[in-house]
Amino acid sequence: MQNKDLAARSKFGKQRETAGTEKKMRSSNTKVATLSFENREKSLLALFSVFACMVALILSLTSQAYGQSSVRPPASAVENNVPEAKDGKVPGNTLGINSDSDTWRAIRHGVTGNVSIVDKKAGILVQSDGENFRLLRNGPLFSYLGLLMLATLILLSIFFAIRGRIRVESGISGRKILRFNTVERMGHWLMAVSFIILGISGLNVTFGKAVIMPIIGKEAFGPMSAFLKITHNYVAFAFMLGLAIAFLCWVVHNLPSRHDINWILKGGGLFTKGSHPPAKKFNAGQKIIFWSVMLGGLSLCFSGWALLFPFEYNFFSSTFSMLSAIGINVPALIGLGDPPYTVIQEQQYNAIWHAIVAVLMICLIFAHIYIGSIGMEGAYDAMGSGEVDENWAKEHHSLWVEEVKDQQASDGERTNIQPAE
């Protein structure tokens, strides 16, 4: 019995110790939880304080920026005295009547700025006229010049089919008259051969890529074009020399005379058989060709020289200015701006003008070659051997034949004069 009481007490004591231990552990856990909560509360409070400080700082900076950027009326606004705009600018640093669009539009149309380098054309940032030049050259210019040459050949073919070869109606006499001496023929052939070379090489520049390259291919067209370009540049000097020789030899014979009107009215006898209007060494038709070649050739020399030495000359600006001085406003007639033009514009105008004048001269020379070869019997002899048949000369240049015979008679009389004894 006593042993049972001791066992029960021992068991109860152990239970109390276990309960006390658990109570201490719960108390300890409660303190730990309390400390953890207090720590979290302090951390959150610290974060909130930092956040509040940042918000206050941001609001302060924003308030200062707003105060600085606020537009305040000038003092003169109280008196309703607003400053006037100067140079397109108005108060407040706004654009006013100026516009960035106008500035870029001027740049796009080739306005020239200031540069410190030697190459002044670098001052042109954008040149939209280059696109206009390309469209004109590859569009209307290409089509119209090609059609003009084709139309000329067709008209000459039709004329030959209807009129046939113009014969010497009185027959070949066999008697010869010297028409052109060696110097005259040399000047003619120097000018003629060089012009043919220039024509072929020049036409390749305008029409070669569209006409020749598809036929022979790029591999052959490239070297061929390079060779023709170099040839064109150097043969041009031979053409200039031939042009000068021809002018010096024949200018005196190509001055207008009263016989030219009659020749023109009768069409030079080209359209009617048996019609032979009188003419001197050069008839009206030949005079037209002479002056067309001289003026056109001179124009080609100037434009070609400018193309050969680019950005050095202002032929169009100076020419249009001189014409404007006498009341002829060429730019307004053809839709160009007023001079002076930029060096790039000058090059573009030179290229277009060079092509137009060259094709016009080619068409004229087509007719000249036709008449001097298959179109008229005996005409080639004038530039071949220099001598023509007497009957041919009487039919086409009767006044000149009379002058030659009078000169021969005068020379013969002087030769037959005997010295006094």
pLDDT at 42: 62
In a domain, 307, yes or no: yes
Position 168 pLDDT exceeds 80: yes
Q: How would residue 373 be classed by pLDDT, with cut points 50, 70 and 90? A: very high
The tens digit of pLDDT for each residue in 19-67 reads: 555 555 555 555 544 545 555 556 656 665 666 666 566 556 555 544 4
In a domain, 395, yes or no: yes
Position 294 pLDDT exceeds 60: yes
Position 128 pLDDT exceeds 60: yes
The three-point CA angle 364-378-161 to 5° equals 60
For residue 255, give the DSSP letter.
Answer: S
Among 354, 323, 353, 320, CA closest to 337: 320
pLDDT at 183: 96
| Mean pLDDT value of segment 256-282 | 90
In a domain, 52, yes or no: no
In a domain, 12, yes or no: no
The one-letter amino acid code at 186 reads M
The tens digit of pLDDT for each residue in 296-355 reads: 999 999 999 999 998 888 999 999 999 999 999 999 988 888 888 888 889 999 999 999
- Which CATH number covers residue 375? 1.20.950.20
pLDDT at 278: 92
Among 205, 147, 209, 150, CA closest to 351: 205
Instruction: Give me the number of domains the chain comprises.
Output: 1
Percent of the chain residues past pLDDT 90, beyond the cut: 54
In a domain, 351, yes or no: yes
> Are the C-beta atoms of residues 83 and 71 closer than 8 Å to each other?
no
pLDDT at 416: 45
The tens digit of pLDDT for each residue in 343-365 reads: 888 999 999 999 999 999 999 99
Residue 326 CB burial class (10 angstroms; 0-12, 13-18, ≥19): exposed
Cα–Cα distance for residue pair 113/287, rounded to 1 Å: 49
Cα–Cα distance for residue pair 241/243, rounded to 1 Å: 5
Tell which wins on pLDDT, 167 or 37.
167
Position 263 pLDDT exceeds 90: yes
In a domain, 19, yes or no: no
In a domain, 27, yes or no: no
| 3-state class (DSSP) for residue 267 | helix
Domain region containing 302: 182-412
pLDDT at 17: 59
Cα–Cα distance for residue pair 192/362, rounded to 1 Å: 11
pTM of the model: 0.71
| Mean pLDDT value of segment 224-229 | 96
In a domain, 98, yes or no: no
| 3-state class (DSSP) for residue 6 | helix
Phi and psi, residue 283, nearest 5°: -80, 180
Query: Hey, which residues does 94 pair with through a beta bridge?
Result: 90
